[in-house]
Structure 1
Amino acid sequence: MDNYFLAITLVIFASFFQGTFGLGMKYMAPLKWEAWWLVHAFVAMILVPMVWAFIAIPDLIGVISHTDSATLWLAAFYGFLWGIGGILFGVSVEKTGISITYGIVMGLAASMGSIIPLFQIEGAFEQPSFPIILVGVALLLVGVAITAVAGVQRDKLKAGASSNSKAIRMGVMIAVASGVLSAFLNIGFANAAPVAQSAVEQYGVGTQNASLASWVVVLLGAFAMNGGYAIFRLARNNSWNSFTVADSKKAYRWAILAGIFWFAALGVYGQGAALMGNLGPVIGWPILLGLALIISNIWGYRAGEWKDSGKSFKVLLGGLCVLIVAICILGYANY
């Protein structure tokens, strides 16, 4: 019982970081996107995970080297696929806007990132909580869809003009691909469970800290995509001098801070999910993303993004209420 409440508390805490790290993306200038992103990705996917994991698991290299190589490559590959989804997210935003893209990506990432690990569990259909999880995930999708509709209504009210329908259709298709691929971050974490298990059984590491070893493996693949793409953009645009542009200290600080917050979300979530047992990635992931969506909208409201938005703000509140109900149902599923 104590572990259960600690697990839920950790996931809730993680959602604060997940819903907050995106604030740093508003402060990229004067750095080019590729320069800012390379710094951010290195901090988020390599530096912080490695440092934290080595502190919690002194023999991290031994843990990883004693894990079956097929497991390691598969987990890293899933991280790489998530990286592709992240790049497609940016492309979709350019074509359809943040509200439509965020709604589609969050909905698909939360649902598929939960359902696929559930089906990978032996005897998933016999789990007593199986129907409760499905109801919770379905409600989560409804809540995300409502918040996306609210965002679209707000954007139309402020823009006062219709966008190119062909570009929007293409953007929606890209957003769907991004949402599907974004789910692989959690799928990779779930499939990297043997790494954490090795840390617990062979090296005496605590269950919570052992989850950090899983993230190190998954995020190596994620950085290969994100860092690789940023370097490609730097080379293609010949924008290497962006790193030394004047008045960039603030942008660097936000790149580092956003990176710390980004992995803090995953690291703390992983600890909470580990305490939940086999259903941790199934239940914890949609709770994390659902709460993060609520928190990000709170930050948006405080920043004035919903000022003079009319009825769309009431629609948003309705969507957030549905998300809260869905999160409560998912939390009960593992009670």
Structure 2
Amino acid sequence: MDTYILAIVLIVFASFFQGTFGLGMKHIAPLKWEAWWLVHAFTAMILFPILWALIVIPNLFEIISQTEGNTLFLAAFYGFLWGIGGILFGVSVEKTGISITYGIVMGLAASVGSIIPLFQIEGAFEQPSFPIIMLGVALLLVGVAITAVAGVQRDKLHSNSSTTSKSIKLGVLIAVASGVLSAFLNIGFSNAAPVASVAVTQYGVDAQNASLASWVVVLLGAFAMNGGYALYLFIKNKSWNAYRVPNKRKALGWAILAGIFWFAALGVYGQGAALMGNLGPVVGWPILLGLALIISNIWGYREGEWKNADRPFKVLLGGLTVLIVAICILGYANY
């Protein structure tokens, strides 16, 4: 199989995992949120990434120790910033609803997470694909905005309560901050490239597998934020006995499965991006999030979220069509 086609196939698979893992968050009860999230975050950001990386890179920790400290710190710090964005996402959902928040966050995370790594490439403006990439990212933003509008229209039909204008404005501001910070997950991955480079040049690791070493470093910072926040809630809510509740096995199983799916998305995406070369994080990231948005809406349709909302659903289909066009343009940009 052609290398570039394989890269696209991998990112499509990654998008499936990314668009699906959120189903697990519908099965938090009877656990407290912090109890469910700690298990989920540990599985997604520590256990699964390290186990997968060690299987294909036995010298993982030796490779990391060979990388410059500044590189490691910066990559982990970007992961930490992403963790803040994830927490703000939850706060915004409470104030504005899932549709508005998801649309804003996905759009900003996809565009900022693509453009910053592009500008970090030497001679970015001279890249022949530069205008095509910018067009693809712009269309992606339009597609995400249309899907967000469809979600808002659907929620108005299904909701009997109204949120205050002040709360919505604050929620939108928080969602914007979340979207920008969420982009740092991909920026951290892009800046952790020297870790993968050490694995390839000094230890003979395949470039695809070497990307896993980069994720291990970035996600250490991400877990520091997510795990730390969960522990803070344990202290604040005095919920240390949260794991003693009856009938918790199903919720714990979903926490672990959602964690596996979450990192499966990043791990497979990283392998696809590695095959794309320098522009992998630039082109692959918006494709990943755009397809994930499409897949998550497919799951939502199957779950009945668009029942009795024919007009908003037609708007959604228009937004998904724009997303597909944007993804095709981005795919062509690096061909």
Work out whether the TM-score is over 0.5. yes
Q: Residue 133 in 1 paired to residue 126 in 2?
A: no
Secondary structure at the residue paired with 2:36? helix
**What is the alpha-carbon distance in structure 1 between the residues aligned to residue 244 and residue 45 of structure 2?**
23
Give the drift of 1:244. Answer: 1.3
How many residues are paired up?
A: 335
Secondary structure at the residue paired with 2:289? helix
- Cα distance per residue 1:99-132 (max 9 Å; x no partner): 0000000000000000000000000001000000
- Cα distance per residue 1:14-50 (max 9 Å; x no partner): 0000000000000000000000000000000000000
Letter in 1 for 2:4: Y
- Corresponding position of 1:331: 331
- Corresponding position of 2:77: 77
**What is the alpha-carbon distance in structure 1 between the residues aligned to residue 141 and residue 56 of structure 2?**
36
Letter in 1 for 2:217: V
- Corresponding position of 1:63: 63
- Cα distance per residue 1:252-294 (max 9 Å; x no partner): 0000000000000000000000000000000000000000000
Q: Residue 278 in 1 paired to residue 278 in 2?
A: yes
Letter in 2 for 1:324: I
Q: Percent identity?
A: 81
Give the root-mean-square deviation of aligned CA atoms: 0.7
Secondary structure at the residue paired with 1:300? helix
- Cα distance per residue 1:292-313 (max 9 Å; x no partner): 0000000000000000013000
- Corresponding position of 2:45: 45
Secondary structure at the residue paired with 1:122? coil
Letter in 1 for 2:278: N
Letter in 2 for 1:202: Q
Give the drift of 1:160. Answer: 3.8
> 234-243 or 95-104, which moves further after superposition?
234-243
- Cα distance per residue 1:226-257 (max 9 Å; x no partner): 00000000111011111110001100000000
Q: Residue 95 in 1 paired to residue 132 in 2?
A: no
**What is the alpha-carbon distance in structure 1 between the residues aligned to residue 161 and residue 177 of structure 2?**
27
Secondary structure at the residue paired with 1:134? helix
Secondary structure at the residue paired with 1:114? helix
Provide structure 2 residue ranges, at least 5 long, that are not aligned to the other structure.
none
Provide structure 1 residue ranges, at least 5 long, that are not aligned to the other structure.
none
Give the drift of 1:161. Answer: 4.0
**What is the alpha-carbon distance in structure 1 between the residues aligned to residue 63 and residue 161 of structure 2?**
56
- Corresponding position of 1:301: 301
- Corresponding position of 1:30: 30
**What is the alpha-carbon distance in structure 2 between the residues aligned to residue 131 and residue 59 of structure 1?**
40
**What is the alpha-carbon distance in structure 2 between the residues aligned to residue 279 and residue 298 of structure 1?**
29
- Corresponding position of 2:147: 147
Give the drift of 1:162. Answer: 2.8
**What is the alpha-carbon distance in structure 2 between the residues aligned to residue 160 and residue 233 of structure 1?**
31
> 134-143 or 152-161, which moves further after superposition?
152-161
**What is the alpha-carbon distance in structure 2 between the residues aligned to residue 50 and residue 244 of structure 1?**
28
- Corresponding position of 2:241: 241
- Corresponding position of 2:184: 184
> 201-210 or 160-169, which moves further after superposition?
160-169
Secondary structure at the residue paired with 1:38? helix
Q: Residue 13 in 1 paired to residue 18 in 2?
A: no
**What is the alpha-carbon distance in structure 1 between the residues aligned to residue 240 and residue 90 of structure 2?**
21
- Cα distance per residue 1:193-212 (max 9 Å; x no partner): 00000000000000000000
TM-score using structure 2 length: 0.99
Q: Is the 8 A contact 2:95 2:163 kept in 1?
A: no
Letter in 2 for 1:320: L
Secondary structure at the residue paired with 2:241? helix
Letter in 2 for 1:85: G
TM-score using structure 1 length: 0.99
- Cα distance per residue 1:163-187 (max 9 Å; x no partner): 2110000000000000000000000
Detail structure 1 runs of 4+ shifted over 2 Å in the superposition: none
